[in-house]
Amino acid sequence: MATIVRHTPTGRLYVLVGTGFGATHAVMPSVLGGSLFPTEKVQEIPVAAVSDSLGNIAWLYTRELQVVEVDGTAIGDYFSDNGSADPAASCSENAVEEVCPGCLFAVKRDAA
């Protein structure tokens, strides 16, 4: 089976092939120190490989993708009735003290 994702800017559906992590790194000599003190420029690019209905592979930014379906089951069916994941499923019962308001993941009370 497959994971179906929606490209949110266009609304097109794709099959998720895999995730990747693009990165660039440039080193240029500095004005004063030359090669002894080079200027480094690093850029990270979180991307995912997706396939359309013709099998063409494209790389899309992960922040622009939304999971629609996993193994033929709608993503909402994996969650409880109120739309949030069951926090007890992610930690043991004695460790669950609070739920993160941002991601609804179970965390210990002293977690940052």
Whether 96 has a pLDDT exceeding 70, the answer reads no
Confidence of residue 64 (pLDDT cuts 50, 70, 90): very high
What was the pLDDT predicted at 90?
47
The percent of residues in the chain predicted with pLDDT above 70, rounded, is 71
Question: Sheet holding 3-7: strands in order across?
Answer: 57-61, 34-51, 13-30, 3-7, 65-70, 73-74
Instruction: Please give, one letter per residue, the 3-state secondary structure of 25-83.
Output: EEEEEECCCEEEEEEEEEEEEEEEEEECCCCCEEEEEHHHEEEEEECCEEHHHHCCCCC
What are the structure tokens assigned to 92, written together?
């043991």
Domain ranges of the chain: 3-78, 81-112
For the segment 14-50, what is each residue's pLDDT rounded down to a tens digit? Answer: 999 998 776 777 777 777 767 777 777 777 788 999 9
Sign of CA dihedral 69, 67, 97, 93: positive
What was the pLDDT predicted at 38?
74
